[in-house]
Amino acid sequence: MEHLGRESPNDLATIKRILVVGAGAMGSQIALVCARAGYEVLCHDVAESSLERARKDLRSRSARDVAKGRRDAGQEAAVFRRLVFGTDLDALARDVDLVIEAAVENLDLKRRIFAQLEEVAPKHAIFATNSSSFVPSKLADATSRPDLFCNIHFFNPALVMKCVEIVAGPETSAETVELAKAFVVRIGKEPVVLKKEIPGFIANRILNAVRDEAVFLYENGVASVDSIDAACRTALGYPMGPFELMDLTGIDIGYFTKKARFAETNDPKDAPSRSVTELVERGDLGRKTGRGWYEYAEDGTPLGPA
């Protein structure tokens, strides 16, 4: 497919201006990562309140980094001059080379965003989604540039986590993958390329497989929750065990992801497990409710298995 404006499709120098769509937990930090790497970044959200929160949050993180001597005050001031926030998607998209979409995880909404971007963004612009669950083939056909479409999937918190997965769909061109890879290196992250799409990608699939095995061992009476967590920490070098991690991220998050997956596949191994379902039905969702696999004091100190 012919695309105007980029002489060599894998020339990283052709990426100058980046649009981040969605200024929530992920989008705001992705925007700062890109601005710190020297890019001009336009950060869009439909909600003025989200933009305000993002501005405040990024400013205070930056001030903390400067106070601790981790960042230079002058350089950070220049970073924020390169970072523009706004609610007018059409105006912001008019002259960008790369879009990273990080709006809420809703397929119709994401498709609508990409269809609108198709109308206003330059023909050469690469379209990427940060979605954790929607693979390129679910979104790329909302545009007429499936060859320029991929997932660029950051991990939370995006300012800290090194890994960025790049997911190629069936129609993503090799040049787009190469360019995405070079871009990820340029912003100081470690690209991991998936040669073909698969729901959950790599890191979360492995994380989920470990979690499912931990729940299997517990439900079959092989060991207690804290023993399984201890084995993962002390034998495998994990920073925390799978049950501790579920309590931290929220037991409902994994539960709803599995429910949605099961609705799609009807494969019993995708269904939420008995013990997880019981916890969610009781409202014991982990640290945020004071009780999950473990119990927590008011100040968040773990008190032992629940």
The stretch among 6-14, 16-24, 69-77, 288-296 that binds ligand NAD (CB under 6 A) is 16-24
Phi/psi of residue 244, each to 5°? Answer: -60, -40
| Residue with Cβ nearer ligand NAD (51 or 214) | 51
Return d(Cα 55, Cα 137) in angstroms, integer. 33
Question: Any known ligand binding at 288?
Answer: yes
Is 132 a binding residue for ligand NAD by CB under 6 A? The answer is: yes
Residue 117 vs residues 166, 224, 279: alpha-carbon distances, Å? 20, 51, 41
Is 122 a binding residue for ligand NAD by CB under 6 A? The answer is: no
| Residue with Cβ nearer ligand NAD (80 or 155) | 155
Is 45 a binding residue for ligand NAD by CB under 6 A? The answer is: yes
Identify the active-site residue in 132, 151, 173, 244.
132
Which of 10, 40, 46, 65 is in the footprint of ligand NAD by CB under 6 A?
Answer: 46
Is 257 a binding residue for ligand NAD by CB under 6 A? The answer is: no
The DSSP line for 62-126 is HHHHHHTTSS-HHHHHHHHHTEEEES-HHHHHTT-SEEEE---S-HHHHHHHHHHHHHHS-TT-E
Question: Any known ligand binding at 105?
Answer: yes
Which two three-digit tokens encode residue 66?
Answer: 């400067």
Which of 15, 18, 23, 93 is in the footprint of ligand NAD by CB under 6 A?
Answer: 23
Shortest Cβ 298–ligand NAD spacing (Å): 26
User: Is 132 annotated in the active site?
Assistant: yes
| Residue with Cβ nearer ligand NAD (210 or 223) | 210
Q: How far is CA 9 from the centre of its chain?
A: 25
Return d(Cα 115, Cα 120) in angstroms, integer. 9
| Residue with Cβ nearer ligand NAD (28 or 218) | 28
Which of 20, 113, 228, 285 is in the footprint of ligand NAD by CB under 6 A?
Answer: 113
Q: Crossing angle for the helix pair 48-67 and 73-81, nearest 10 degrees?
A: 160
Sites of contact with ligand NAD (CB under 6 A): 21-27, 44-47, 50, 102-105, 109, 113, 130-132, 154-156
